[in-house]
Structures are given as C-alpha cells and as structure tokens.
C-alpha cells in the first residue's frame, strides 16, 4: 500500500481543517494535490493522475476516454453526492469503484433551500439591490407559514426540507416516482401527481437525483402550468429546468421568482443574471465549513478502505 499514489482532484482541500490531510499522511500513501485552484479538465486529470490508484474527486469529467487512459486507477471517491461526471458503464467495465459521501450534504442543502425561499418571499435580494443603488423602496412579502410548498423528490434532502418547512408552518406536498406512502403520512406530506403539485404549489422545490432511464425536465408546458405568482427553487441539477422557458416565465411575471444553485452550463453567465427576481448562487449548496470538512474526511476514509 505504501507504493500506491492518489490524486486529490478537488480545487480546494483541507481548507477548513487538517483532518483529511492528516489521514492521508498517516496512511503512508503518496498523494498529489490539484495545483490549479479550479476544476480540472480532462488533460489535467490524465497528467496528474497518470500513475494513481485512487482519486478523491469533485465534479471534474471522468469520461470513457479519461478512464481508459488511467490503467492503475482502482477507485474514484467522490467528495459529494452526484456522480454524473463519471462514466459509470466504463468504470464498471474497468473494475473501478465509485464511492460518494451523501450524508454530510443533507443539512447544508436543505438549509440553503429554505434560505432561498425566505429570500424570495421577503424580497431580500431585491431590497438589497435597491438599497445599494441608494433607493428607499419597499415591496410587500409573504410568510412562509401557510404557503403550499411542493417538493419534487423525497429522498434524503427532500425529506429534510419537509421537516424544516413544517417548523415554519408551511403545508408540504410532494411528488416522487418512488414515494413511500407510510413515510409521507407519518410526516404530514400529501403526495400528489406532478401535474397537481405544479398547479397547487406556491413554491416548487426540486430535489430529484438524475436518472438516465427516466430523465426529468420542467419545460415550457410544466412551467406554464404552475400557479401564477409561484416560485421555483432548484438546488438539484441544472438540466432539470428549461432555462429559456424559466426566463420567459420570470420576465413576463407568470412566476414571481426563482432560486437557483445549479445550471446547465457552469460557471454560469446566462440571461437569468439580468433579472432582479432571481436568487443565484454558484453551485454552493453543500459549501459550509462543517459539511465540507466532513465530506473530505469521509471521501479520504472511503478511498483508504477501498485501496486496502
């Protein structure tokens, strides 16, 4: 094991605590860090990971072409949940294990979801922009209490969001292709069809995982079926929302606002940045000091176990 080498592909590592780096040092493994401070591209992965047996990964691309050119690679340990950036078919073919860290992200993503709802309901970003422009203008908001909030996706994060929403007195409805009726009944979540959820909800929040066998997207039809004046939150996947359809609905007032942490193309510089009824964050839902440190530590632990 002492002859093995691993790549830490993350743009930052051990920034909020030394624990993950201490684990690596104690293991006796050789390791290389990402020196760029940004997301690696394919050629950089190949250059830095050429002789590595393991990679602690972010969202950089592990395509079929990349994986076939890393002959020593045995494990990709994702610091985070989603593994859409990995060609799973090719990884399975090559015997490369894919691991992730789903639990540490639940609380921070759920909290950001609630924060976006409160921002939109009380026009915090709108008021802040006005004040920064030295304009003393006010816009009446709404309470989260009493709002009908529709959660699309009731996995770990969706369920945590439902729990937090109940503490605010919101009425929670949900849609999930794999809904568990016993859980929903026990936790006061009314299960609806997707169509009914979109029509009834004051706020729609996306918490699905990607599924190539059943791709999900809110297109023009679905967005126009939402309640006039409703709001949309997406902290799941950028491709889940038709950007042009969303822009049109926000620009003409059919939707009152949107909160987005994920985008089809990242870094994002698209036309949604021109609207003042949108809250935008740079794919930072999981980025708290506590969650980042826990994810990095778990990712290293997972990698060490896989290589041993």
What does 87-121 look like in DSSP terms, one character per residue? -HHHHHHHT-EEE---STTHHHHHHHHHHHHHHHH
The model's pLDDT over 15-55, given as tens digits with 9 standing for 90+, comes to 999 999 999 999 999 999 999 999 999 999 999 999 999 99
In this prediction the pTM is: 0.89
pLDDT, position 179: 83
Task: Give the distance from CA 238 to its chain's centroid.
Answer: 9
Average of pLDDT values for 141-151? 98
CATH architecture of 106-280: 3-Layer(aba) Sandwich (3.40)
CA distances, 120 to each of 15, 141, 252 (Å) = 31, 8, 17
Q: What stretch(es) of the chain map to CATH 3.40.50.720?
A: 5-104+288-307, 106-280
pLDDT bucket at 295, cuts 50 / 70 / 90: very high
What integer best gives the mean pLDDT of the chain? 96
What does 196-262 look like in DSSP terms, one character per residue? HHHHH-SEEEE-PPP-TTS---B-HHHHHTSPTTEEEEE-S-GGGB-HHHHHHHHHTTSEEEEEES-
The model's pLDDT over 173-227, given as tens digits with 9 standing for 90+, comes to 999 988 889 999 999 999 999 999 999 999 999 999 888 778 899 999 999 999 9
CATH number, domain 5-104+288-307, options 3.40.190.10, 3.40.50.720, 3.30.465.10, 1.10.10.10? 3.40.50.720
Residues annotated as catalytic are: 237, 266, 283
Residue found under tokens 């002959």: 71
The model's pLDDT over 55-94, given as tens digits with 9 standing for 90+, comes to 999 999 999 999 999 999 999 999 998 898 999 999 999 9
Q: From CA 284, how far away is CA 287, in angstroms rounded?
A: 5
The model's pLDDT over 106-129, given as tens digits with 9 standing for 90+, comes to 999 999 999 999 999 999 999 999
- Tokens coding 87: 């060609």
Average of pLDDT values for 280-286? 95
pLDDT, position 3: 58
Q: From CA 250, how far away is CA 112, in angstroms rounded?
A: 21
Q: From CA 16, how far away is CA 291, in angstroms rounded?
A: 10
């Amino acid at each position: 094991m002492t002859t093995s080498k691993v790549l830490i592909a993350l743009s930052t590592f051990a920034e909020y605590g030394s624990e993950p780096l201490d684990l690596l040092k104690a293991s006796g493994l050789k390791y290389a860090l990402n020196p760029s401070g940004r997301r690696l591209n394919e050629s950089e992965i190949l250059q830095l990971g050429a002789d590595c047996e393991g990679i602690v990964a972010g969202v950089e691309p592990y395509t079929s072409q990349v994986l076939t050119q890393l002959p020593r690679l045995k494990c990709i340990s994702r610091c985070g949940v989603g593994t859409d950036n990995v060609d799973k078919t090719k990884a399975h073919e090559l015997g490369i294990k894919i691991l992730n860290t789903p639990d540490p992200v639940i609380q921070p993503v759920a909290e950001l979801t609630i924060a976006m709802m409160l921002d939109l309901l009380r026009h915090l970003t709108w008021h802040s922009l006005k004040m920064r422009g030295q304009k003393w203008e006010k816009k009446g908001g709404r309470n989260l209490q009493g709002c009908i909030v529709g959660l699309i996706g009731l996995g770990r994060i969706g369920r945590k969001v439902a729990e937090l929403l109940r503490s605010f007195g919101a009425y929670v409805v949900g849609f999930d292709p794999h809904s568990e009726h016993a859980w929903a009944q026990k936790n006061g979540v009314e299960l609806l069809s997707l169509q009914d959820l979109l029509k009834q909800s004051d706020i729609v929040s996306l918490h699905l995982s990607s599924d190539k066998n059943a791709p999900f997207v809110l297109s023009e039809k679905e967005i126009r079926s939402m309640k006039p004046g409703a709001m949309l939150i997406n902290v799941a996947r950028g491709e889940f929302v038709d950007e042009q359809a969303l822009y049109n609905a926000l620009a003409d007032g059919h939707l009152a606002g949107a909160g987005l942490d994920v985008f089809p193309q990242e870094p994002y510089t698209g036309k949604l940045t021109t609207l003042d009824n949108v809250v935008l964050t740079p794919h930072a839902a999981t980025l708290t000091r506590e969650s980042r440190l826990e994810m990095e530590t778990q990712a290293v632990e997972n990698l060490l176990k896989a290589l041993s």
